[in-house]
Amino acid sequence: MKKNLQLTEIELKKLKETVKLLQEEIREKNRLLREYETDWALKLFNDLETIQGEYSVLLKPPPLILKGSYKNQGYRFQIEVGDIIGLFSRARTKMILLNKSVSDNGGSDLATDVIYTETAFPELLNQLDRSNFHFCQVNRSCCVNIRYYTIIDNEVVTDKIVNPLFDKYSHCKVSKRHVADFIAKKKAYQQISSLQKDQLRNILNFIIAGVNSFTNKKTMSKAIKPADNSANQQNPNKGTPGTNKQYSQNQGNRGKQMNPKSSGKKGK
């Protein structure tokens, strides 16, 4: 009996904690809802700016330090993911081909557009591309940056390799099981790139223009009303053309009522 009572108390405690979490979540949702109701344009603007910033980081991750070798000497290089054309395997050695030369981060005079490492593809990709967004393995020995390559028939091709020593990597055969993955990643990259560069910016500019227009109209209406009131207070008999016309008609009707003989035929 005592054991059952202890279990009931534990379950009740867990239930209370769950209810408390749900209440906090509901309060947060209500807060966000009130923000959207009162300042929906500003909230939407902030959300879109956040998305645009996240897409910017996704498309251009921060630089990273990569350990590698060149002519059997160990070096450390600071590279950006966007500068890597592809990863290519030669037996145990992996070659990282860049679109420009990078300098050794250790202070030596070395500058190279190719870095060698014995790190396996999975570990190397986990280091370079944790989002699994930039690179796609197209066969056992080639893993390309989708930014630079396009697919034509059963090959991926690029014209970004300027070093003639590595010209053979300007086209690589794609195995059947990697075709769909490359096409999907390429499409996702193009869509997010378009959103980040053009569409999101256009939406943000449209919202800014709309908010500014609304704010200006509101400010102008507030500025105009006191001016009209002060003018009417200085000369209460002076109004707009419409009010002046109505005032004249009223005065005329009043005169006719006071002197009915002034209108119509005279009696005998």
Q: What is the pLDDT of residues 180-220, one digit of tens each?
A: 999 999 999 998 888 777 666 677 777 677 666 655 655 54
Give the range of the structural domain holding residue 80, as residue numbers without chain letter.
Answer: 64-186
Within-domain flag for 36: no
109/113: higher pLDDT? 113
Residue 103 is part of a domain; what is its CATH number? 2.40.50.1020
d(C-alpha 239, C-alpha 192), whole Å: 59
The answer to whether the pTM exceeds 0.95 is no
Q: What is the pLDDT of residue 68?
A: 85
Rounded mean pLDDT, 229-237: 44
| 125 found inside a domain | yes
Residue 81 lies in a domain: yes
Kindly state the tokens that stand for 193: 């790139």
What percent of the chain shows pLDDT beyond 90? Answer: 30
Between CA 130 and CA 221 the distance in angstroms is 54
5 lies in a domain?
no
Closest of 176, 96, 185 to residue 140, by C-alpha: 176
For the chain, report the end-to-end CA distance as a whole number of angstroms: 121
**Residue range 56-62: average pLDDT?**
87
Cβ proximity of 62 and 126 under 8 Å: no
What radius of gyration, in Å, describes the C-alpha atoms of the chain? 37
CB 187 within 8 A of CB 146: no
User: For residue 105, is it within any domain?
Assistant: yes
CA atoms within 13 A on the CB side of 138: 28
Q: Which of 49-53, 65-69, 133-137, 257-261 has the lowest mean pLDDT?
A: 257-261
Residue 20 lies in a domain: no
For every residue of 95-126, DSSP letters joined together read EEEEEEEEEBTTS-S-EEEEEEE---HHHHHH
Backbone phi and psi for residue 152, each to the nearest 5 degrees, phi listed first: -135, 115
pLDDT exceeds cutoff 90 at 221: no
Of 110-119, 166-175, 199-208, which has the strongest mean pLDDT?
Answer: 166-175
Pairing of strands 150-152, 142-145: unpaired
More confident: 196 or 90:
90
Judged against a pLDDT cut of 70, whether residue 74 lies above it is answered with yes
Parallel, antiparallel or unpaired: strands 142-145 and 84-90: antiparallel
Is residue 233, in this structure, part of any structural domain at all?
no
Q: Per the domain annotation, does 156 fall within a domain?
A: yes
Q: Find, among 218, 193, 214, 207, the residue nearest to 44 by Cα.
A: 207
Q: Does residue 234 surpass a pLDDT of 80? A: no
Across 147-151, average pLDDT: 95
β-partners of residue 86 are 97, 144
Share above pLDDT 70 across residues of the chain, in percent, rounded to a whole number:
69
Strands, DSSP E only, in 57-187?
64-70, 73-79, 84-90, 93-103, 111-117, 135-139, 142-145, 150-152, 155-157, 171-173
- Per the structure, the count of domains in the chain is 1
